[in-house]
Amino acid sequence: MSDLKQYRQSEKLLVVMPTWVGDCVMAVPTLRAFRQLYPNAHIAALIKEGALPIIEDCPYINRIIPIRKRPASSDEPRGGGPMKVARYLAKENFDTAILLPNSFRTALMARMALIPRRVGYDRDGRGFLLTDRLMVRRENGKFIPVSTLDYYLGIARYLGAQQPSHQMELFTNEQNDAKALDMLKQGGWTPDCGKPLVMLNPGARYGEAKMWYPDRFAQVARMCVDKLDATIAITGAPRERNILDEVIASTDVPMIDLPKMGMDLGTLKSVVKHATLMVSNDTGPRHIAAAFGVPVVTVFGPTDPRWTEIDFEHERIVRVDVFCGPCQKRTCPLDHRCMTQVTPEMVFEQVQELLSSESKQETSA
């Protein structure tokens, strides 16, 4: 392993960011820890285009290097292939690469870029490409579930961070904030209207087994309107359009259809800041809500909550124990009982409990 003192003297750091939106949100506390460790260093974040808006306006990094299939300017890598990215990075003279993803590809890319120090977990057969190999905990040959948030912070602790905070946070800009308020106003909701804004996030990129049913999201929406006088907004990625349409078609509850109004990931952050509560599957917007302190009810099915634990006191997880789970499968080979047994009433009960506790806290304050 390399001398930690040598790293503390590093002046130009590259942090390779995860691919998934939720993982990027959970990586922000680690970026903050790096900035605290190296207040005078130049820190750049290498990130794929799809997740880039998550770290826009983040004060802990000096620069974002996007990976796009078609570069938007001459100051970007010429394409997303590892050779092209490595060639670009080699010209930047980074002295250290910190690899948050576990992939062999990212370690090879850092090695080909001739970055002298390469820090990451010894996974995916890439240990020989790293100068600092962090070991992963196993039991009986299997990985022990560890929160992704804490997994990333483990690198910061290895490099010298003392009890780094798990607090997630995200940042927005005035332009997206204005666009978000305009969308909500067009949908009939304003911050001073007196109605709670409940956001539904019925999609999930990981696979269909991870998604609770559209008609049940619709039933929760109906309960929120009837019993809480809430305004409902629905969000999702472009590939989830059919899921959003199913939710909307399953009820006569009016919904602010954010994607149809032109929402992107940047404006989603600004919209979420105004939400009273979110109901979500275990996917990226859940983490965005938590990062802004917005209460969230998360439905878990085949995935193990221990992998994505976020230490957020205003989250309520709804799940049922089944003999076959958590299986981590993208498609259920049986009858999807981990999701079919989660009822709208179970979810709405947690919505009420969260909003009630929030109301009591505001009253006592």
State the CATH number of the domain containing residue 257. Answer: 3.40.50.2000
HEC secondary structure over the chain: CCCHHHHHCCCEEEEECCCCHHHHHHHHHHHHHHHHHCCCCEEEEEEEHHHHHHHCCCCCCCEEEEECCCCCCCCCCCCCCHHHHHHHHHHHCCCEEEECCCCHHHHHHHHHCCCCEEEEECCCCCHHHCCEEECCCEECCEECCCCHHHHHHHHHHHCCCCCCCCCCCCCCCHHHHHHHHHHHHHCCCCCCCCCCEEEEECCCCCCHHHCCCHHHHHHHHHHHHHHHCCEEEECCCHHHHHHHHHHHHCCCCCEEECHHHCCCHHHHHHHHCCCCEEEEECCHHHHHHHHCCCCEEEECCCCCHHHHCCCCCCEEEECCCCCCCCCCCCCCCCCCHHHHCCCHHHHHHHHHHHHHHHHHHHHHC
Q: Are residues 207 and 336 in the same domain?
A: yes
356 within domain boundaries: yes
189 within domain boundaries: yes
169 within domain boundaries: no
Of 158, 190, 214, which closes a domain? 158
Q: Are residues 23 and 145 in the same domain?
A: yes
Q: Are residues 210 and 246 in the same domain?
A: yes
Q: Are residues 224 and 329 in the same domain?
A: yes
Of 158, 182, 201, which closes a domain? 158
Cβ atoms 28, 34 nearer than 8 A: no
Q: Are residues 150 and 178 in the same domain?
A: no
pLDDT class of 312 with cuts at 50, 70, 90: very high
Q: Are residues 275 and 181 in the same domain?
A: yes
Give the range among 1-15, 19-33, 270-284 with minimum mean pLDDT: 1-15
Of 158, 188, 222, which closes a domain? 158
CB count within 10 Å of CB 265 equals 18
Q: At what angle do helices 284-291 and 21-37 cross, to 10 degrees?
A: 40
Residue 58 buriedness (CB in 10 A; 0-12 / 13-18 / 19+): middle
10 within domain boundaries: yes
Q: Are residues 133 and 21 in the same domain?
A: yes
Q: Are residues 350 and 201 in the same domain?
A: yes
pLDDT at position 364, please? 55
Residue 2 falls in which region: left (phi positive, over 0), alpha (psi -120 to 50) or beta: beta
Q: What are phi and psi of 100, to 5 degrees?
A: -75, -40
pLDDT at position 1, please? 47
Q: Are residues 326 and 289 in the same domain?
A: yes
Q: Are residues 151 and 202 in the same domain?
A: no
CB count within 10 Å of CB 97 equals 26
Separation in Å, CA 222 to CA 189, 205, 263, 329: 17, 25, 23, 31
165 within domain boundaries: no
pLDDT at 63 over 70: yes
18 within domain boundaries: yes
168 within domain boundaries: no
Q: Are residues 318 and 181 in the same domain?
A: yes
pLDDT at position 80, please? 73
pLDDT class of 360 with cuts at 50, 70, 90: low
pLDDT for 214-271, tens place per residue? 999 999 999 999 999 999 999 999 999 999 999 999 999 999 999 999 999 999 999 9
Q: Are residues 274 and 219 in the same domain?
A: yes
pLDDT class of 361 with cuts at 50, 70, 90: low
Q: How far is it, in rounded angstroms, from Cα 312 to Cα 298?
A: 12
How much of the chain exceeds pLDDT 90, in percent?
A: 82
Q: How many domains does the chain have?
A: 2
- Domain containing 209: what range? 174-364
Angle at 171 between CA 263 and CA 271, to 5 degrees: 30
163 within domain boundaries: no
pLDDT at 304 over 70: yes
The residue behind tokens 């990215």 is: 85
